[in-house]
């Protein structure tokens, strides 16, 4: 187990629990929290109905691209080997070419939840907290709370719902991690590049900006990989679960200076699945894939948001594959009403108890959502 400076023995043992059994913990990743949110309205556990509309987990219903599926089929028979043909090296090379980063600035993981939790453990302590937006993606805060680290939540900007970076820094000038999900989960809103650069320029020298870009490919915003190339105090997280449609296959990465990435390594071990690696490599090299999926998502999202406007239902404009809408009642009540119609939406956040998060599915799925919503809202 890595040395945990500043932690009590009790908190160190809690960190060890994360390292050895993190997948079983309720804050581990989006699926665990979305699954819990879906099960509560149904009052049961187990499989959803076969004809359910699943728009609560921010999954991409398009699934992996053809190139990724072909790569998985070819490698599957070699699954008895850890890395028969240097799949991890091929993945790093593909990312290096696209992101224009040196290979040593890229660390593959099985999704982005793993390096998210590692980053919290590596760069926070009982005296160096975690600062995040509110509402924001809760997984890192769950890790921090579990090991006794202070979590400071700062309201999003009222006009744009972007992260208020100046308020975040003022709230805890000595924090170890400033966590920004961009586009944000759950709001799907963007924090502009100039705000990220301001935070990097003004934060304390011992902290990092943890930039979670799980949804960046749905937007036209400039990604943060160039900040990594400039060797800033930033770790950028990516996953193939969203635009690339590989949530169940598990592939992702952390990008950062080699010295920052080295601090993540002691907090876990294990080989990556070769199926995820080859699928990720094929997806990164698939010509036009990101632009095509961004256009499909934008078209379906625009259609459902137009429907909400016609129904006078308030929502937050999103550039991602999900949006927040006003339920006009406790959000859990609307979730239960829609679940009775076999429509399973996302969860609520304590700061906005009457708003619910909805994932953008296929056009057919969102048509079913619109029909059910009109019924239960009336």
Looking up tokens 């598990």 gives 250
pLDDT grade for 271, boundaries at 50, 70 and 90: confident
CA angle, corner 285, sides to 280 and 287, nearest 5? Answer: 130
pTM for the whole structure = 0.91
CATH 3.40.640.10 fits 64-285, yes or no: yes
Mean pLDDT of 324-329: 98
Mean pLDDT of 286-313: 98
Looking up tokens 């399973």 gives 344
Mean pLDDT of 199-214: 98
Q: Please say whether the beta carbons of 180 and 209 come within 8 A.
A: yes
Q: Please say whether the beta carbons of 331 and 68 come within 8 A.
A: no
Across the chain, the runs of DSSP E, i.e. the strands, are 53-55, 106-109, 130-134, 151-155, 177-181, 208-212, 234-239, 252-255, 322-326, 343-345, 355-359
Name the class of domain 27-63+289-377.
alpha beta
* Extents of the domains making up the chain: 27-63+289-377, 64-285
Instruction: Kindly report, residue by residue over 95-148, the tens digit of the pLDDT.
Output: 999 999 999 999 999 999 999 999 999 999 999 999 999 999 999 999 999 999
Task: Judge if 27-63+289-377 and 64-285 fold alike in CATH terms.
Answer: no
CA 340 to chain centre: 28
Burial class (CB in 10 A: 0-12, 13-18, 19+), 19: middle
Q: Is the pLDDT score of 217 beyond 90? A: yes
pLDDT at 23: 44
Instruction: Kindly report, residue by residue over 147-182, the tens digit of the pLDDT.
Output: 999 999 999 999 999 999 999 999 999 999 999 999
Q: Please say whether the beta carbons of 91 and 271 come within 8 A.
A: no
pLDDT at 304: 98
Instruction: Kindly report, residue by residue over 77-96, the tens digit of the pLDDT.
Output: 999 999 999 999 999 999 99
Q: How many residues does the chain have?
A: 378
Calculate the alpha carbon distances from 300 to 65, 260, 274, 294 in Å: 19, 39, 33, 10
């Amino acid at each position: 187990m890595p040395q945990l400076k500043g932690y009590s023995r009790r908190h160190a043992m809690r960190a060890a629990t994360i390292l050895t059994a993190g997948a079983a913990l309720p804050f581990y990743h989006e699926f665990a929290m979305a699954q819990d949110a879906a099960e509560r309205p149904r009052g049961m556990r187990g499989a959803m109905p076969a004809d359910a509309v699943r728009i609560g987990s921010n999954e991409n219903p398009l699934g992996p691209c053809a190139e990724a599926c072909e790569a998985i089929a070819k490698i599957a028979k070699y699954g008895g080997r850890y890395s028969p043909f240097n799949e991890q090296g091929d993945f790093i090379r593909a990312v290096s070419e696209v992101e224009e980063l040196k290979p040593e600035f890229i660390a593959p993981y099985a999704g982005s939840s793993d390096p998210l939790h590692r980053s919290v453990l590596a760069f926070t302590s009982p005296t160096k907290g975690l600062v995040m937006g509110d509402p924001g993606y809760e997984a890192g805060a769950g890790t921090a709370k579990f090991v006794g680290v202070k979590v400071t939540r700062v309201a999003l900007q009222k006009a744009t719902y972007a992260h208020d970076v100046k308020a975040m820094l003022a709230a805890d000038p000595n924090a170890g991690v400033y966590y920004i999900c961009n586009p944000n989960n759950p709001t799907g809103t963007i924090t502009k590049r100039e705000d990220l650069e301001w935070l990097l320029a003004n934060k304390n020298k011992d902290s990092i900006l943890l930039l979670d870009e799980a949804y960046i490919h749905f937007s036209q915003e400039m990604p943060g990989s160039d900040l990594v190339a400039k060797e800033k105090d930033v770790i950028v997280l990516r996953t193939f679960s969203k635009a690339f449609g590989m949530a169940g296959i598990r592939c992702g990465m952390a990008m950062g200076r080699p010295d920052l990435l080295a601090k993540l390594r002691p907090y876990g071990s294990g080989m990556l699945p070769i199926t995820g690696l080859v699928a990720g490599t094929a997806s990164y090299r698939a010509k036009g894939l990101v632009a095509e999926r961004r256009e499909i998502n934008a078209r379906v999202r625009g259609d459902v948001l137009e429907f909400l406007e016609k129904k006078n239902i308030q929502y937050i404009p999103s550039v991602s594959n999900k949006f927040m809408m006003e339920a006009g009642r406790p959000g859990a009540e609307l979730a239960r009403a829609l679940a009775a119609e076999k429509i399973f939406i996302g969860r609520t956040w304590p700061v906005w108890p009457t708003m619910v998060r909805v994932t953008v599915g296929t056009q057919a799925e969102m048509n079913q959502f619109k029909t059910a919503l009109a019924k239960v809202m009336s």
